[in-house]
Amino acid sequence: MNNLGCIFLENGINFDLDKVTDCCILHNDGRGLPILIENYNGEPIDWNNLFDKKAKRVEAQKEKTIYDCEGCYHLGEYSFTGERKISEFHFSQCRICNAKCVYCSQYNHSYKLNYNPYPIIKDLIEKGYYKAGGEATLQGGEPTVMPNFDELVQLFLENGTSVRVHTSGIRYSDKVNDALKQKKGTVVISLDSGCSNTYNRIKRVDRFEEVVENIKKYSASDVDNVIIKYIIVPGYNDNIDEIDKFFKLMNKLNVKNLALDMEIQYAMKYNYKDVSEHIFMLIDYFYYTAKQLNLNVITYSFLSYLLKNRTTPKKETFGNKFLYKFYVNSKKDKSKEIKYNH
């Protein structure tokens, strides 16, 4: 018998580009995303059939961890209940976006308009397979521009599910703001910069001021659940000056929660542990500065993995900032650059 499991296997659903899966997690050399429906494009779902598949998978998991879940960081001691309901939702099917990030090679800026999951969720609720109390994560692409986004958020709020929105922050949503006011929402905005020049180079749209305004509006509703992200993008924002500008702005906006991440294509190219040493020093500097300013940094699993594979020691030489900056620059390995596909 196996006592490992995770909530998504029994109570999760993820709507992806062309399939429906239990979760949206890709891990451990391409495992994850256990498939429920292949070649999916928004058709009505036979819920009974879907829950039969989930139940079968849960039974297999109780015997031995299934292939898709082997090594997943979400696995833990878990007691399955046998309940045929969905409480955890992920929406990853949207490929339209209002930014053009240099590092977004995954979708090649195709801005594909995918299916609309709103009627599917309504159907799930009407047929009694919905369980309140969980979380719906909307990501993309840019979820706020997908059809029925606001209606979908409203539907979840009315039915007792919290929402987590990963957004560029370019489009302000009243419904997301309602979720924040009700303490039923989390907003994650990837700003990646502290000034419009760098923002424009990375995001390749001239919308920095609007995003800043939207951060202000969301923070005014619930600052505890607004998270601003800084993805280190080599060649664009991998320097102390930009990080300083970012912190200055965060202080001005009274933001409390930050998230730090590393651009994944770069990390993968250098096999996670061989990234230029100055990247790790910037990571050290980011954590150090956040601590000085009493700001919380959320570390996503990808960055944790990168830090776990680090081969250089952590640097704590922040006494003389001028020297530290010089030192970081000197460790920059110019041969380790990356050309992003535009």
Radius of gyration of the chain (CA): 21
Among 36, 45, 72, 187, binds ligand SF4 (CB under 6 A): 72
* Binding window for ligand SF4 (CB under 6 A); candidates: 139-147, 232-240, 260-268, 277-285: 139-147
Q: Does 189 bind ligand SF4 (CB under 6 A)?
A: no
# binding residues, ligand SF4 (CB under 6 A): 22
* Binding window for ligand SF4 (CB under 6 A); candidates: 3-11, 156-164, 307-315, 316-324: 3-11
Q: Footprint of ligand SF4 on residues 95-114 (CB under 6 A)?
A: 97, 99-101, 104
Q: Does 202 bind ligand SF4 (CB under 6 A)?
A: no
Structure tokens at 321: 């900032």
Among 19, 53, 62, 74, binds ligand SF4 (CB under 6 A): 74
Q: Alpha helices, DSSP H only, in the chain?
A: 7-11, 47-63, 118-126, 149-158, 174-181, 196-203, 208-222, 240-252, 264-269, 277-292, 301-308, 321-330
At a CB cut-off of 8 Å and minimum separation 6, what does 15 contact?
A: 40, 90, 91, 92, 93, 115, 117, 120
Strands of the 12-15 sheet, one edge to the other: 35-37, 20-21, 12-15, 88-91, 135-138, 162-167, 185-190, 226-232, 257-262, 296-299
Q: Which residue's CB is nearer to ligand SF4, number 2 or number 320?
A: 2
* Binding window for ligand SF4 (CB under 6 A); candidates: 93-101, 209-217, 270-278, 290-298: 93-101
- The candidate with the shortest Cα–Cα distance to 104, out of 203, 243, 237, is 203
Q: Does 222 bind ligand SF4 (CB under 6 A)?
A: no
Among 20, 121, 137, 140, binds ligand SF4 (CB under 6 A): 140
Neighbours of 251 (CB within 10 A): 11
Among 11, 87, 168, 237, binds ligand SF4 (CB under 6 A): 168
Q: Does 188 bind ligand SF4 (CB under 6 A)?
A: no
Residues in contact with ligand SF4 by CB under 6 A are 6, 8-9, 22-23, 25, 32, 34, 68-69, 72, 74-75, 97, 99-101, 104, 140-142, 168
